[in-house]
Structure 1
Amino acid sequence: MKSLLFRLAGTFSAEIGSELYLKLKEETLSPSLFCLDFSEVKEVTEVGWEFLRKITARCKETGSKVAGFGLTVPISEEQNQILSLHSTESDCIHYLESQIVSDAPANELTPKSEEKTVHCPECQTLLRWKLAGDYLCPNCETKFFVNKKGWVSTYERLL
């Protein structure tokens, strides 16, 4: 299962919400885990909450899971029920991992030979890894980071 961490900043409005929704729609072709970092978000507009509602609905339809952490703006009870929000990144990751039915860590296949593998976040090529750190896909040359539990984080490209 693929897992992605999105770090958000500024005002979560229609612009950011639509970009995030389109990215998640693209990534939910197979079940995935999505962790949203709101620690640098100063405001969430009403349209932003509508996009969060659409994102959670899309994830439910595809068997994906989404949760967030670090939101410091006050929210209503209704908004609190849209998305599973947590205080820290580790709480959010723990929640998402608890939603996985299998015993394997996120985005990690555990063959009998103790070999650890992940899928490239861009081209889905199966890759072997030993230690947490930065990796480069030999197929598509996408740079990504693998943590100790097998979570894969991609690096955003600046144009």
Structure 2
Amino acid sequence: MKSLLFRLAGTFSAEIGSELYLKLKEETRSPSLFCLDFSEVEEVTEVGWEFIRKISERCQETGSKVAGFGLKNSVAEENSQLLSLYPAESDCIHFLESQIVSETPANELTPKSEEKTVHCPECQTLLRWKLAGDYLCPNCKIKFFVNKKGWVSTYERLV
């Protein structure tokens, strides 16, 4: 299962909302975890909340999970039910990891030789790994991180 962290900034309105929705729509072809960092967001407009609703619905349809943290402004009652919001990044990540049903990551294969493998998040090339850390796919040259459990996170930023 792929996990992505999106760091957002400025006013979350139609422009950022539509860009984020299109990116998540592309990434939800398979179930994924999405963590939204609102710590640098000054305001979420009414249209922005509409995109958050669309993002939430898309994630429910595809089996993906989405949560956010760091929203400074108070949230209206009807909007607070659209997205699980947490005060800190660690709380948000803990919630998302708790939503995973299986102990074994979906993208990790465990052959009898105990060799650990993951699929590249971009080109799906099967890659071997030993320790948690940064890796570079030799096929498509994308840089990604593999944690101790074998979860793959790509490095992306929406500006």
TM-score of the two chains, using structure 2 as the length reference: 0.89
Task: Indicate the larger mover: 89-98 or 143-152.
Answer: 143-152
Note the alpha carbon deviations across 1:101-143, whole angstroms, 9 max, x for none: 11125x6525154433332221122222222322111111111
In the alignment, the residues of structure 2 paired with residue 86 and residue 150 of structure 1 have an alpha-carbon distance, to the nearest angstrom, of 25
1:47 match: 47
Contact preservation (8 Å) 2:109, 2:118: no
1:58 match: 58
Q: 2:131 matched to 1:131?
A: yes
Deviation at 1:38, TM superposition (A): 0.9
Specify the SS of the correspondent of 2:47. helix
Within a 5 Å distance, the mapping from 1:70-89 to structure 2 comes to: 70-89=70-89
Specify the SS of the correspondent of 1:43. strand
In the alignment, the residues of structure 2 paired with residue 109 and residue 64 of structure 1 have an alpha-carbon distance, to the nearest angstrom, of 18
TM-score of the two chains, using structure 1 as the length reference: 0.89
Contact preservation (8 Å) 2:134, 2:145: yes
Deviation at 1:62, TM superposition (A): 0.6
Within a 5 Å distance, the mapping from 1:134-145 to structure 2 comes to: 134-145=134-145
Q: How many residues align?
A: 157
In the alignment, the residues of structure 2 paired with residue 3 and residue 47 of structure 1 have an alpha-carbon distance, to the nearest angstrom, of 26
Specify the SS of the correspondent of 2:93. helix
2:17 match: 17
Q: 2:116 matched to 1:116?
A: yes
Deviation at 1:31, TM superposition (A): 0.8
Unaligned runs of 5+ in 1: none
In 2 relative to 1, CA 141–59 (structure 1 residues): closer, same or farther, beyond 3 Å? Answer: same
2:5 match: 5
Root-mean-square deviation (CA), in Å? 1.9
**Greater relative CO (CA pairs within 8 A, separation 6+):** 2
Sequence identity (%) = 83
Note the alpha carbon deviations across 1:67-96, whole angstroms, 9 max, x for none: 111111111111111101111111111111
